[in-house]
Amino acid sequence: MCLAPRVYPLRFFCYTLPIMTAPKVCLCLTGGTLNEDLALVEKYRPCIDMAELRADFLQKDERLHIRRFPELAGIPCILTIRRKIDGGKFLDGEANRSMLFARALAFADPNPAKNFAFVDFEEDFFVPSLQDAALAFGTRIIRSRHSMTENIPNIAEKIETMRVTGYEIPKISCRANSLAEVTNMFREAKKLGDSEHILCCMGPYGVPARILAAFLNSYLTYSTPEENAGDMGELYHVDPRTLEETYRFRSIRGDTKIFGVTGFPLVNSLSPEIHNTGYKRHNMNAVYIPLRSDTIEEALEFAEALNMSGLSVTVPHKEAVIGRLASQSQAVQKIQACNTLVRTPEGWHGRNTDAAGLERALQEFVGARTLSGVKVAIIGAGGAAKAAAFAVKRLRGRACVFNRTVIRAKKLAEMYGFKWAFLDIDSYRLLSKYSDLIIQTTSKGMDSTGQANHDNDPLYFYTFSGKEALYDLIYTPLETPLMARARAAGCRVEGGYSMLKYQAHQQFEYFTGEPYGPHESK
């Protein structure tokens, strides 16, 4: 079914949460010394609201002086001494840990700003004297439960059992091993209403929960400085500057419109920066987030649970999503790949902006309005290759599709009257013939550095003459091993950022009803 495109203003769909205080950004400090941690507080001060001192990371002699940290930091601080079983570094036993907590809470200052504002005690850590001291001195207890390897399904029920007193803040931090488990956390959070709690979703699937803490009604979101990212790498914290500058975290509320990009593995996507820059320039109450998903079904389930207004689709879901569309554009019908979903009252409307984005990028790259007389090699036969074939045909180029699975190459090529061939050394001569312009559409080389080889270079068997022009749709890294090899041979080379930018600008207009604007994205 093909419908005329419908564009809905950003105010059309509304998912509203109870009004509550905006979640705070808590900087997680894992330095070996207090001075290291204080330097990071100072560096990121404009982007954070509070800090968590992870005393379990401190050198042993430094731990003796943690009592002074809140006064030196000048912001509300959480004291955490995490055991190894809960993902921490403390190995000296519970007696020593209790003594360290006592040292940090003792000799409270009449000025509460000079004391720890919070102390994190696990749900099985009950020391009456420490709890009494915290309550007496105005230090709130965060009562936490951690699951480092698996999800906790009954989050709302568990949170309620952790509310020992009205003065504690229950916290659950668990690892998500799929996007479906992240979706479950958001559904469980709705049951909690506006009660104080902290919800954290660890791992690469959990990034949406970090950014959308407001939709979890979470008291805070934890963030790690770029300098210490390796210490907390398995948690997948978002650094504070990215939260502030890319996602405008402090402006996200229950009525903020949510857009995003889904795919797998979805590493280092630049789409959030492009789209969120557009929302900021247009003063829109919207945010665009990454959604790592193994299947398109899990991505759409998340989108429905949070009433997302639009979704960008990348590898490997561009073809699988077509069966889930209520309607689709003529381009999607022709290309049989969809990279843009827009919510309508009838369901998801699918579009393809890859082809138009690539068409404009190729025109700039070759310096001509058409590819007339140009022999083009299209490497791959997936969703991106389908958009490339569509664009090359529109630009009047002659092409040959090369792919490891030859039946897919044949099927794609015959749609446009192109030639097709198996992608290996036996097709060397044909590839040389169609090498005026080589368009590389596979994922080989993505997030790859170093020497070209069979695993990161789809044309590892081909020797460049220097006369070829190579356009690689990959944009991370800026130069793939294939691109580096072609450039060294004297070829004109460009990565896929220009295509990404142009297709994203068109997506932005479909999502919001507004043109991206005269200013280019970064």
What's the pLDDT score for residue 340?
A: 98
> CA–CA separation, 24 vs 52, rounded Å?
12
> CA–CA separation, 280 vs 267, rounded Å?
24
Per-residue model confidence as pLDDT tens digits over 424-434 = 999 999 999 99
Contacts of 276 (CB under 8 A, 6+ apart): 246, 247, 248, 287, 288
Per-residue model confidence as pLDDT tens digits over 85-97 = 999 999 999 999 9
> CA–CA separation, 482 vs 329, rounded Å?
34
Tell whether 423 and 482 lie within a shared domain.
yes
Average pLDDT over residues 507-512: 98
Tell whether 361 and 338 lie within a shared domain.
no
Q: Are 244 and 23 in contact (CB under 8 A)?
A: no
- Is 157 among the domain residues? yes
Residue at 79: amino acid letter: L
- Is 520 among the domain residues? no
Assign residue 341 the CATH number of its domain: 3.40.50.10860
For residue 433, what are the domain limits? 355-500
What's the pLDDT score for residue 520?
A: 52
Token output for 137: 């001195």
Tell whether 107 and 131 lie within a shared domain.
yes
Last residue of a domain, one of 254, 288, 305: 254
Cα separations in angstroms, 135 against 159, 161, 419:
20, 20, 76
Tell whether 139 and 227 lie within a shared domain.
yes
Tell whether 221 and 189 lie within a shared domain.
yes
> CA–CA separation, 343 vs 339, rounded Å?
14
* Adjacent-strand bridge partners of 78: 52, 118
Tell whether 103 and 193 lie within a shared domain.
yes
Per-residue model confidence as pLDDT tens digits over 34-49 = 999 999 999 999 999 9
Token output for 189: 């959070």
Where do the H-state alpha helices sit in 255-368? 271-281, 296-305, 330-335, 354-366
- Would the pLDDT of 519 be above 60? no
Tell whether 227 and 345 lie within a shared domain.
no
DSSP run (H or E) holding 403: strand 398-403
- Is 3 among the domain residues? no
Assign residue 200 the CATH number of its domain: 3.20.20.70
Percentage of the residues of the chain whose pLDDT score is greater than 70 = 95
Tell whether 46 and 137 lie within a shared domain.
yes
Q: Are 436 and 376 in contact (CB under 8 A)?
A: yes
- Mean pLDDT score of the chain: 92
Tell whether 337 and 363 lie within a shared domain.
no
Token output for 84: 């190894």
Please report, for the chain, how many H helices and E strands are present, in that order: 17, 20
Bond prior to 477 in cis (omega within 30° of 0): yes
Per-residue model confidence as pLDDT tens digits over 81-124 = 999 999 999 999 999 999 999 999 988 888 989 999 999 999 99
Q: Are 287 and 259 in contact (CB under 8 A)?
A: yes
Helix axes 497-512, 271-281, angle to 10 degrees: 40
Tell whether 138 and 50 lie within a shared domain.
yes
> CA–CA separation, 274 vs 502, rounded Å?
10
Lowest-pLDDT range of 29-33, 324-328, 372-376, 517-521: 517-521
Options 318, 393, 444, 501, the catalytic residue: 318
DSSP run (H or E) holding 501: helix 497-512
Average pLDDT over residues 135-153: 92
pTM recorded for the entire structure: 0.90
At residue 349, the 3 state secondary structure works out as: strand
- Is 513 among the domain residues? no
Contacts of 113 (CB under 8 A, 6+ apart): 70, 71, 74, 76
> CA–CA separation, 277 vs 356, rounded Å?
21
> CA–CA separation, 79 vs 116, rounded Å?
7
Cα separations in angstroms, 521 against 246, 276, 291, 493:
12, 10, 21, 21
List the one residue out of 418, 433, 424 whose CA is nearest residue 406.
424
DSSP run (H or E) holding 260: strand 257-263
Query: pLDDT band at residue 450, thresholds of 50, 70 and 90?
Result: confident
Tell whether 99 and 220 lie within a shared domain.
yes
Last residue of a domain, one of 254, 286, 310: 254
> CA–CA separation, 273 vs 318, rounded Å?
21
- Is 17 among the domain residues? no
Per-residue model confidence as pLDDT tens digits over 266-308 = 988 999 999 999 999 999 999 999 999 999 999 999 999 999 9
The total of other beta-carbon atoms located within 10 Å of residue 425's CB is 11
Burial of 161 (C-beta count, 10 Å sphere; 0-12/13-18/19+): exposed
- Is 5 among the domain residues? no
- Is 155 among the domain residues? yes
- Is 516 among the domain residues? no
> CA–CA separation, 396 vs 371, rounded Å?
5
Considering its fold, how many domains does the chain have in total?
3
Decide if 318 is catalytic. Answer: yes
Tell whether 124 and 186 lie within a shared domain.
yes
- Would the pLDDT of 13 be above 80? no
Assign residue 374 the CATH number of its domain: 3.40.50.720
- Would the pLDDT of 254 be above 70? yes
Last residue of a domain, one of 314, 330, 354: 354
At residue 466, the 3 state secondary structure works out as: coil
Contacts of 105 (CB under 8 A, 6+ apart): 79, 115, 116, 119, 130, 133, 134, 137, 139
Token output for 419: 């030639």
Q: Are 101 and 75 in contact (CB under 8 A)?
A: no
Per-residue model confidence as pLDDT tens digits over 184-231 = 999 999 999 888 999 999 999 999 999 999 999 999 999 999 888 777
